[in-house]
């Protein structure tokens, strides 16, 4: 019987928002039911980092060869090193019917959106909206500068989140994880998706 292809879940958001913390918390929970896609990098392993666990460590030459062969779903260079997502692992896992989870920078996420438009794109946002609201309400206790900088930050986030399907505020790590899990559960219940399962079963056999 044909296996339903898994869901590609992309968690991204501005630097410093806590993507890594949320991802680690998600994968420390026993009932998390998706596969973490390990990134590839040319930077040297740090003390305690294990190849194939923390990263796939590659030479510059090997990394550039993979780029040339189109075998990276996304990549970027940062402080002289490459970071990227190997395409083969992602495709094999999705084909086996498992959901794959990527935690990547916004530039990478925009490359993935272009290649996998039906992925599930989640923007992790700082609790700026809540903070902004409190600051606007608490006016007079805040300087105009502080308020203005929060408004600017909110406008920038608003622009960045444009490519995404969902926005999760990272007010508290556990709450953010609960929301990510709820989004994945809901996505599996989307009518179009369930319809496909019905049709595959009915047409696969008759």
Annotated binding site for ATP: 13-20
Cβ nearer to its own copies, comparing 87 with 116:
116
Nearest-approach distance from CB 100 to its own copies, in angstroms: 19
Shortest Å, Cβ 163 to its own copies:
9
Q: In what order do the strands lie in the sheet with 72-78?
A: 56-57, 40-41, 81-86, 72-78
Least distance to its own copies from the beta carbon of 47, Å? 37
- 148: tokens are 């203005």
Return binding residues: 13-20
Site residues (CB under 8 A) for its own copies? 1, 122-123, 125, 129, 132-133, 136-137, 151, 154-155, 157-158, 161-162, 164-169, 178-179, 181-183, 185-187, 189-191, 194-195, 197-199, 201-202, 205-206
CA distance 170 to 129: 11
> Do 180 and 26 meet the contact criterion of CB atoms below 8 Å apart?
yes
151-159, long-range: CB within 8 Å, 24+ apart, which pairs?
A: 153/126, 153/128, 154/128, 154/129, 156/14, 157/14, 157/125, 157/126, 157/128
Q: Which is nearer to its own copies, 44 or 139 (CB)?
A: 139
Give min distance, CB of 62 to its own copies, in A.
Answer: 37
For the record, the structure tokens of 152 come out as 């600017």
Query: Is the CB of 47 or the CB of 203 nearer to its own copies?
Result: 203
Q: Which is nearer to its own copies, 69 or 203 (CB)?
A: 203
Minimum distance of its own copies from residue 24's CB (angstroms): 21
Nearer to its own copies, 86 or 126 (CB): 126
| Torsion sign, CA atoms 123, 160, 116, 39 | negative
Q: What is the C-alpha to C-alpha distance for residues 171 and 138, in angstroms, rounded to an integer? A: 19
């Amino acid at each position: 019987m044909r296996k339903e292809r898994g869901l590609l879940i992309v968690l991204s958001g501005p630097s410093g928002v806590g993507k890594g913390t949320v991802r680690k918390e998600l994968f420390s929970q026993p009932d998390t039911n998706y596969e973490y896609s390990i990134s590839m990098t040319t930077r040297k392993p740090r003390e305690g980092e294990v190849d194939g666990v923390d990263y796939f460590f590659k030479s510059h030459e090997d990394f550039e060869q993979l780029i040339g062969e189109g075998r990276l779903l996304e990549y970027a260079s940062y402080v002289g090193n490459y970071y990227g997502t190997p395409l083969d692992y992602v495709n094999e896992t999705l084909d086996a019917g498992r959901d794959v989870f990527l935690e990547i920078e916004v530039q990478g996420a925009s490359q993935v959106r272009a290649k996998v438009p039906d992925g599930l794109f989640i923007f992790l946002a700082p609790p700026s909206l809540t903070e902004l609201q409190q600051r606007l309400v608490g006016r007079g206790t805040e300087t105009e500068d502080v308020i203005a900088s929060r408004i600017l930050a909110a406008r920038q986030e608003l622009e960045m989140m444009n490519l995404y399907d969902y926005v999760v505020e990272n007010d508290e790590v556990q709450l953010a994880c609960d929301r990510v899990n709820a989004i994945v559960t809901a996505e599996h219940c989307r009518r179009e998706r369930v319809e496909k399962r019905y049709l595959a079963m009915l047409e696969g056999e008759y």
